Structure 1
């Protein structure tokens, strides 16, 4: 009898892996893989082709982040206002076309414009993809679905950069651009075959701040800025820090982050749906502090790589948790805004962390103070979470 009951309960669970969800997750992976594949080779490509210096290449590369951040509030508004499939398809198409632009231009100022445009279309298309994916999820399994959807980004992060670098060293830069372009075209085909119900024709509410920014999620937005601030220096300076410590194989640092992220995302979503959202995010926030303290004071490869895995593990709790909070604080017609608010916090934090980290490293002549500052920022975030953010969510959530 008990076995039959368990089977019956499973049969009653609403379907998660629908055709729409699978296609959006696959297209999202292809978009992010194409982007991450380009990441390690782009500085080399710019310096070699345009005969410029590291500083100029760095400015051009950073325009991608600036473009993504600039469009985030408007991306949410567009996703909530326009038909989602055409918006998703055409911004994905423009994102794909930018790979041709990198190779076609011969003036660095035009390359900078292409890089900025790439960020703009990335910001809108990823906001649309997150929203389409969430729309396809049953409410009772939303946390689980968000966790699985995030794995598409984590897999791209784990495999894209090393693939791009291998291809560049073996065959040159052209093959990297061609493969990125081809993968994005496959992604476009997947997006085109999506079956998304057309938006109901309703009178649009008057323009207000919450059409561009989810004001109900201000505490989540602020907390996520701190999390992004801590991760920013990891994206740019971990190889330099490893060199200072005399630790080789820094590429494994990112692989271990991705491993921690993927393992935890698989488990976290189901626990969120069972009502453990507040506890899981709190655990992730505290574990993140431990990871950065280990990183700031590490003197051996073991501690260095353990810190990487713990960063990934903590982010595997934090990412789906904060996104679920933002979505549950929003009305159904504000899901695009909720996703853009969540992603904007991350973008702002990453950018601020990279800028502050570079300035601190230049001032102190080393990177240890940078990661110590990250740990301090996360302590502040942890205090904010338990005293403000979690309580605000429980008082104001509309769903979940």
Structure 2
């Protein structure tokens, strides 16, 4: 059983979602995710202007951060979460942000991005694991959905702030802003009270076992999220360049604001539905909406089309990501939640990491329009992948549960 925090009268807070820890952890997650998306939306243009980087090099610079994050997750996912790990990682995150001020060429920028990414991987895995373990079982989907609002807000505000700062300030100001946010985040985490969580994760033996680093039961839904984040990375990394081509740079900033609003509108409903009805009820419509949004993005000529695409993508990807995380952690017992969380975000990071690099190679062949239409088709086709990896089993489990209730 998970050790839940207690109230002042010593009673377990199992029915509560909005505890002090939940708010602190959501805030920490918001700021660290905001920094990531702010930098990812601007770093490609920075590399092109400051170092005359090619499209392939900008993809590597954007994606290597995620590869670093993946490395951090692999290391920390099998360890018990603690406040000390979180504070150390937050300090190192701020310190590695300082490396952006050092201009020693593309190679050093790639290294800086990698190290910064390692610290982010540790932070987000520790934060997510503590949150999941602290949520009551009957409201886990709802709790994760609300926690994921912090990610959704950062996903929208990060690129918006980044694109605004590119137009009105300098890249140096962007790095200063990120450094200040990193230090503020460290201070926010100081009052956190992390209770001990029992762990059933096996200690490393004499031989190498993949299950020491990857949770097999979380793999099916994690493979699915890899495809989704791969497609979404094309928006985060290349929407600004696409908007320049369309002469819609101002609209591009509002794209992420519209995305945020529609995620926030839909999130309270989707979180409760997954607890009551299961993942499939949300996932299949979300696939359709996400694919339609990408198709519309690839065919947009005016601001209206771009913003409607943002709304559709929010209702699609915004819910796919939170529901998939819930499905991953619900597939394991409490002692394996850390590994399940790390496994889910590892594949999440793989999609975000390899996406910009591979997509950067595709753009000369497809153009931005052709790229987004192609990715929309991939999203629709992945409905079948989801069905065989997870959806079919989900339907079977729900039918069995319904039959059990009917039989008393």
The answer, yes or no, to whether TM exceeds 0.5 is yes
Q: SS at 1:54's partner residue?
A: coil
Structure 2 CA distance for aligned equivalents of residues 107 and 247 of structure 1: 31
Residue 182 of structure 1 is matched in structure 2 by 180
1:349 corresponds to which of 348, 351, 357:
351
Q: Does 1:361 align with 2:363?
A: yes
CA separation of 1:167 and 1:339: change in aligned 2, threshold 3 A? same
Specify which of 254, 278, 281 is matched with residue 256 of structure 2.
Answer: 254
Match of residue 85 from structure 1: 83
Contact 1:20 1:136 in 2 (8 A): no
| Contact map agreement 1:236 1:354 (CA 8 A) in 2 | yes
Q: Give 3-state SS (helix, strand or coil) of 1:367's partner.
A: helix
- TM score, norm. by length of structure 2: 0.83
Matches within 5 A, 1:382-397: 382-393=383-394
Q: Which residue of 1 aligns with 2:406?
A: none
User: Shift of the alpha carbon at 1:254?
Assistant: 2.2
Pairs within 5 Å for 1:68-107: 68-77=69-78, 81-104=79-102, 106=104
On the 8 A contact 1:68/1:123 being kept in 2, the answer is yes
Higher mean displacement: 385-394 or 224-233 = 385-394
- Flag the 1:83–1:127 CA change in 2: closer, same or farther, 3 A: closer
Cα RMSD (Å): 2.9
1:219 aligns with 2:217: no
Q: Which moved more, 1:114-123 or 1:293-302?
A: 293-302
Instruction: Tell me if the contact between 1:360 and 1:369 (Cα under 8 Å) persists in the aligned partners.
Output: no
Q: CA deviation at 1:66?
A: 2.0
Displacement, 1:387? Answer: 3.7
Q: Distance in 2 between matches of 1:44 and 1:297?
A: 23
Residue 238 of structure 2 corresponds to: 237
Q: How does 1:166-181 map to 2 (within 5 A)?
A: 166-167=164-165, 170=168, 172-181=170-179
Pairs aligned (count): 381
Give the whole-Å Cα distance in 1 for the aligned partners of 2:355 and 2:163: 25
Report what 1:322 is aligned to.
324
Compute the displacement of 1:119 (Å).
0.7
Q: Deviations over 1:242-292 (max 9, x none)?
A: 455554522222222222222222321122222242211222122222222
Select 1:130's aligned residue among 116, 128, 131. Answer: 128
Instruction: Give deviations 1:315-360, integer Å, cap 9, x for gaps.
Output: 2321121001100111211111111221122222233433343223
Distance 1:46 1:368 in 2: 23
C-alpha separation in 2, matches of 1:383 and 1:201: 35
The offset of 1:301, in angstroms, is 3.6
Task: Tell me if the contact between 1:288 and 1:315 (Cα under 8 Å) persists in the aligned partners.
Answer: yes
Distance in 1 (CA, whole Å) between partners of 2:275 and 2:320 is 15
The residue aligned with 2:311 is 309
The 3-state SS of whatever aligns with 2:51 is coil
Runs of 4+ in 1 over 6 A off after TM superposition: none
Q: Does 1:53 align with 2:52?
A: yes
Q: Partner of 2:239: helix, strand, or coil?
A: helix
Report the Cα distance in structure 1 between the residues aligned to 2:128 and 2:230, rounded to whole angstroms. Answer: 22
Q: Cα distance 1:184–1:201, how it changes in 2: closer, same or farther (>3 A)? A: same
Identify if the C-alpha distance between structure 1 residues 36 and 244 changes in structure 2 by more than 3 Å, giving closer, same or farther. closer
How far off its partner does 1:111 sit? 3.9
Superimposed CA distance per residue, residues 135-166 of structure 1 (whole angstroms, 9 cap, x where no aligned partner): 22111111111111111122222223333454
Residues 41 and 280 (structure 1), Cα distance of their counterparts in 2 relative to 1, 3 Å cut? closer
- 5+ residue gaps, structure 2, are 1-12, 402-408
In 1: Cα distance, 2:138 partner to 2:158 partner: 33
Q: Is the 8 A contact 1:211 1:334 kept in 2?
A: no
Contact 1:28 1:129 in 2 (8 A): yes
Q: Find the aligned partners of 1:123 and 1:201 in 2 and give their Cα distance.
A: 20
Q: Using the alignment, how far apart are the partners of 2:382 and 2:201 within structure 1?
A: 39
Post-superposition offset of 1:178: 3.3
Instruction: Report what 1:8 is aligned to.
Output: none
**Contact 1:216/1:396, CA 8 A, preserved across alignment:** no
